[in-house]
Each structure stands twice: as C-alpha cells, then as structure tokens.
Structure 1
Amino acid sequence: MSNILDTILGDLGDKRRWRECQVRIKALPAGHRAAAQAVERYLSYFGAISKGDVLVQMTEDLTELFERAASDGTPVRAIVGDDPVDFAETFLANYADGQWISKERRRLTAAIDALDGGKQGA
C-alpha cells in the first residue's frame, strides 16, 4: 500500500521536509528570506531537478546556508557575490545527478553505444 501511495502522491517524507524548509525560510530576516526565496525560485526553474530527494536535499542545504549566514550577520551579497546567477548555478552543480538532463545524457550515450556496438566511427 505504501508503494502505491508513494507512486500517486510522491514521497510524503520528502514533502514534509520541503515544507519544513519553507517554514524555516519564512522565519529568516527579510533580506535573507527574500534572497533565499529568489535563489530557490531560480533553481527550481533553471535546475529542472526531477528527483524529489535531490530537490529536498538541495532546498535543505540552501536553507541551512542562509540560516547560518543570518545568524552570523553575514550580508546577502557576501553569500551570493557579485553575480547571483553564477552563485546559483555553481550551487546547483552540486546536485546535477538529480537533473532530468542527466538521465537524458545517459540515455543518449547508451543509445549511441548500442548502435556502435563498441566500434568507433560505425
């Protein structure tokens, strides 16, 4: 029964962890909250994470980063640097295995390898 529910609803534990992160982000000071939400939004659009557990881990790590920075009094710009897009994409690189494109890259390689039969230039 649990497998059926997970298939239909997704992993409820992951959803609970994600919701907890959202509560933690909302509890941040205004500037850190706005920055964390902006980075998370960018990551969700640009990152195309298809594995729920990877998405949740990424969100937890992002939340912890901004929580620590807020508690240490670290300004937002010191976290993200001069180029917030570069920061977000560098951060995302740590979670690349969860991106849907990783699966498609493996699928393309396997398809070409199968056609090639191990021979180069066929």
Structure 2
Amino acid sequence: MAAKWIETVIGSLEQKKQFRRYRARIGALPEPYETAAKALERYLMYCSGITDGETFMRMFDDFADLWERAAADETPVRAIVGDDPVEFAETFAAAYSGKHWIDKERARLIKAIDEAADA
C-alpha cells in the first residue's frame, strides 16, 4: 500500500531501478565511449522532452546497447555520432515517441485560445 502511494508521488520505483542499471552500464564503458555517452546523455535529457517513463527507459536502454556494441567493436566515436553530435542526438531522440513535456503546454495553449475565442 505504501509503495503504491510513494510511486504516485515520485514515479515508478522499477523505472528508477532500471535507470540505475542503465547508468551502471554507461559507467562501465571504456574511454572514450563513457565520456561521449555521458555528454550525449546529458543533451538527450534536455532535447528529448520525454516524460513517459517507459519510453524514456526504452530510449536509454537502446542508447546503452549502442555504446556497448561500439566499444566491443572498437568503433570510433565519430563513426557513431558523425560530424554533428547535436543532429545525431536529436535524430536519436526523435525515434522515440511518447508523452513529451511540451504536450501539456500545447494542450494548455489550445484550451486558452478556445476559451478566449468563445468569450
């Protein structure tokens, strides 16, 4: 009973555990993969705008898979991200659909304009 209440307030405990496992996977990468992955992760946190925990974790699990495979194959970082790491990150994030923080603001804007137009 208490766990359900806690999850209502702070979110899924299982997803928090998944995220810790993801972070451990990234932390275990050899250099320069760990540094590159952490830099891209930070950007993905901002640019993806994903608020749906399931989609968020799927994206980051795939992200960890990508970097683990690259490290195992000794693929150069530039061969993964290309010349424009911003474009890479934004294209990667765009592949994952789900609830985004902007969805709430879009709905709020539409409602406000509808109410103003009806007044």
Same fold (TM over 0.5): yes
Match in the other structure for 1:119: none
Match in the other structure for 1:120: none
Match in the other structure for 1:56: 57
* Unmatched runs of 5 consecutive residues or more in structure 1: 117-122
8 Å CA contact 2:55–2:97 kept in 1: the answer is no
Q: Deviations over 1:21-77 (max 9, x none)?
A: 100101111111111100000011222222222221111111111011111111111
1:37 and 1:69 map into 2 onto residues whose CA distance is 14
SS of residue paired to 1:74: coil
SS of residue paired to 2:75: coil
2:113 and 2:4 map into 1 onto residues whose CA distance is 34
2:93 and 2:4 map into 1 onto residues whose CA distance is 29
Match in the other structure for 2:83: 82
Q: Deviations over 1:68-97 (max 9, x none)?
A: 111111111111001000000000102242
CA RMSD of aligned residues (A): 2.1
Number of residue pairs matched by the alignment: 117
1:101 and 1:38 map into 2 onto residues whose CA distance is 23
8 Å CA contact 1:21–1:59 kept in 2: the answer is yes
8 Å CA contact 1:31–1:76 kept in 2: the answer is yes
Map residues 9-88 of structure 1 onto 2, 5 A cutoff: 9-88=10-89
Pairwise CA distance, 1:103: 3.8
8 Å CA contact 1:49–1:98 kept in 2: the answer is yes
Q: Could you state the TM-score of these two structures normalised by the residue count of structure 2? A: 0.83
What percentage of aligned pairs have identical amino acids? 50
Q: Could you state the TM-score of these two structures normalised by the residue count of structure 1? A: 0.81
Distance verdict in 2 for CA 1:95–1:109, change over 3 Å: farther
The answer to whether the aligner puts 1:92 opposite 2:93 as a matched pair is yes
Amino acid paired to 2:88 = F
SS of residue paired to 1:28: coil
